[in-house]
Structure 1
Amino acid sequence: MLDKVKSAGITGAGGAGFPAHIKLGAKAQSYIINAAECEPLLATDRTLMLNFSKEIIEGIKAVREITPYEKAYIGIKEKNRDCGEALKKFIDVDFIEVRVLRNVYPSGDEQVMIYEILDKVVPEAGIPLDIDVIVNNVETVYRIGKAVLQDEPFSKRFVSIIGEVNNPQVREVPVGTSFSYLLDIAGKKDIDYVAIDGGPMMGKVVEVNEGIVRKTTSGIIFLERDHPLIRRKTQTIKSVVSQARASCCNCMTCTELCSRYLIGHRMEPHKIMRAIGMELTQPHVYEHAMLCSECNICELYACPIGLSPRAVNVKIKNEMRKEGKRFEKERLKEYKAPVFRKGRQLNTTRLTARLGLSKYYSVKPEYITEELKPDMLRIYLNQHIGAPAKAVVDIGNEIKANQLIGKLSGDFSANVHSPLDGKVISKGENYIDIEVRL
């Protein structure tokens, strides 16, 4: 079964796209299915649970055949209790349980979810396996079931297509589809668009004509270019650092709301901002930037004067990585969350209002089952963490749907498949362009 997962090119359906066969090659006591739809506005996980509950449960059972965990927990938000009921109809074993989480951000962060469900803390700079836990996104589990039971590769994924469009929707989208095609499908308006690849908090701003759906693309938010959220997300790092040095009052709000600090990690953004502001050389302070999850609460919600601790942390992390440095402090013997943790968690309704996105919060994207067939696909060979896949097709080759076009290079990599029939018309170092046969 593990070979089928590996062959199908299953990766994490969010985040860095960790190859699933690596995770499932380990053993753990607990298996957590992350179905919390961490980011506001997205409806991808919800759509999956309401329409493919049986397949998700089959995927969870299939994982147990690969790595024999003792208990599986499906984490959902309170607002999605109907999804929990849909899943329970197909749970006929005692080792799968639905757990309801508060409607807070970032409850879908895997370390936060582990704390909420198991009351355990992943060690600083550690991974869930350090405490005998494996976590997969709900779509990853769905794709694992498809691979094991139907030999179907991971070549399409569910995407929320939302924002300033006429017809917000969730579709199963061929990997390699352009954002511009999806904007046309959702009904564009006469405005100057940009897109956020992912959710409003952690998603990256991209030009519409440059965006391409990858295995990790859970949502696309189309917004007007001058939306305040876009302006915040596109500040230059030079501007961010200058503002930090000139304006930070060290009020500590960024730390008090930090999702890592609130599970007991020594992540204190205000100390890093103070060191930057005073231009201090304090390696022991800067080292803690490596603990930042980049959830963006500090930048887009906490700071009362609109500074960007997350961007500062990212800059420090990148510089430390270039120098080959890692977080090397001795791990604590015990991690304790602050007593005020629950009161500091961030309600998603309030967060959405702060982001200037309230008009979209009550909109329910429609799930549309009609198959999408764009004229062209650009399929990247580096859609996952680890080594890029190696192209196994050439220009002029005819391609069948679900055909392997990129073979994993080394074990820490992932196969890549074409989602549709077509013809290879060009290729680059890390991509293959396919003209789709309509």
Structure 2
Amino acid sequence: MSRIVLGVGGGVAAYKSALLLRALTERGHDVRVVPTASALRFVGAATFEALSGNPVSTEVWDDVPEVAHVRIGQTADLVLVNPATADLLARAAAGRADDLLTATLLTAHCPVVFVPAMHTEMWLHPATQDNVATLRRRGSVVLPPAVGRLTGPDSGPGRLPEPADVAALAELVLAAGPGALAQDLTGRRVVISAGGTREALDPVRFLGNRSSGRQGWALARVAAARGADVVLVAANVDAPAPFGVRVVAVESTEQLRTAVHAEATGADVVVMAAAVADFRPDSVAGTKLKKGGAAEPSELRLVRNPDVLVELVAARPAGQRVVGFAAETGDAEGDVLTHARAKLARKGVDLLVVNDVSAGRVFGRPDNEVTLLDADGTATAVPAAGKDVVAAAIWDRVVGGLPVRA
């Protein structure tokens, strides 16, 4: 069990902190909520105390014998500030200690993550950007805000990311350290495919696969948190878009092919995590295929789909990294890595992420275990962990191979 300090700033998005608190406690963490006085005007202390089981205070003068303004930060495994308002970012950057939360930030030896939420103009103001740069330079993680509806009719960057995304990234920092969210993809454009394509048989039925898209979602979420401009080509995934990510929804392999080729232009990295159908029916019935009678089909003829990954490798510009995925099982002709190395040679990718999907592993599960194959065939095992942790390990390897920008 990890000890998390959940700092809550005084913005209307503070209501989402109650949902985040619930998500963190359900994962088994001991959470101490330290709000600002303004935050309690949006969400009452009783709500935070009921959900966390811990007392809530805003002042350094409360519980003086505990010396809370020192002890809370000293004993935390993670300080997570959600939402981090413009005012709170400014006070943290200035090293202020005028309430319990800012004092806690000064005494914390653990990773500190700020999740900004404010109006677009406030986020884009040079003062806020300078404060963000200062906090990042000191080692804190400052996530980019989501883009979407703000207070009133306005919309733009400044929206608080959804609690599920923040909870996932908190788990990542606890598991892998703040370096897992290093801003090493800032200024990079990333295209990721995720999910599983469907090939229509008739207006009702299709040929599909078991891919849930969770690993692709994790790759997109972590890339956005590390500063990348992310486009997610999503094939039949029923999940909210990760914050800061533009989603292009597709269904068939041909639709995915068209979308990925269009988005790959100018991208620094293309990651093909989607499970793309190798075959499709040679024709699609215009009406539902029925049992019985002369119209009942006696066979299903398939034709091969284009190999999107091979096409991407052939068309990639200088400096672009292409990452492929291989869902493999062992058989009489070889084990999983034997088949994966053969695929690496056929595809010509810079990195191949290998999944052993024997006995229903991986699909739909919250964790994953992969092997990373470099272009020269060097294998690196990534042990079983949450899919965000696996995503961070993949991005570590990808970033190491990107050309240095002048």
Q: Does the TM-score normalized on the shorter chain lie above 0.5?
A: no
Whose radius of gyration is greater, 1 or 2?
2
Larger relative strand fraction:
2
Which structure has more relative contact order (CA 8 Å, sep 6+)? It is 1
Instruction: Name the TM tier (shorter chain).
Output: under 0.3
Question: TM (normalized to structure 1)?
Answer: 0.26
